Amino acid sequence: MSREIVTWSADEVLANADRLAAVYGVAFAAYGETDDDTAAFRHRSLPTHARRDDFRCVVVLDDDELIGFGYGYQGAPGQYWTDRVADLAPPAVVRGWLGGHFEVVELAVLPASQGRGLGGALHDALLADLPHPAALLSTWQYDTPARRLYLRRGWQPLAELPDATLMGTRLPFGAARPA
């Protein structure tokens, strides 16, 4: 068994969209994602995101089997998520965190492979050596393995949005955080 984390280009992501969607569907089914949500990820979100500035995708392969992935890109005004956060988060958070940030969009590991440090390894590979001043993401407001991972990795809750917690970390990853 040869397990490795590799970076895929946008072209590799699009060529492997079915494989990524399969992992997405299984990983997020526990959170209520449906087949329709997985189809939207495969046919709408993934192709759109892969074209964004500073797109980065890391995957974990076990031999050639895809068992997890994470990706993100530079968030910017005019993008749905960035605009939504700008509308909903406190002004101080918007001023201090939005703009030039790296948006962590997805981090998924097949349930059968969870609990082995793969999510943390993907997280760290995704954020390694980014040129952005900060990274942002939104996650469930309740206790989940993903939320615990982000907190263990030093992410800080910045704001409660209507259906998620906005979290941030300063980059480079592991850099000192503001008081």
Neighbours of 158 (CB within 10 A): 22
The tens digit of pLDDT for each residue in 133-170 reads 999 999 989 898 999 999 999 999 999 999 899 999 99
Q: Considering only CA atoms, which of 103, 121, 86, 115 is closest in space to residue 167?
A: 103
pLDDT averaged over the chain?
93
Sequence ranges of the domains in the chain: 3-170
How far is it, in rounded angstroms, from Cα 175 to Cα 134?
10
The tens digit of pLDDT for each residue in 45-59 reads 999 999 999 999 999
pLDDT of residue 172: 87
Q: Are strands 134-139 and 102-109 parallel, antiparallel or unpaired?
A: parallel
pTM for this predicted structure: 0.92
Architecture of domain 3-170: 3-Layer(aba) Sandwich (3.40)
pLDDT at 173 over 80: no
Question: Which residues are the active-site residues?
Answer: 150
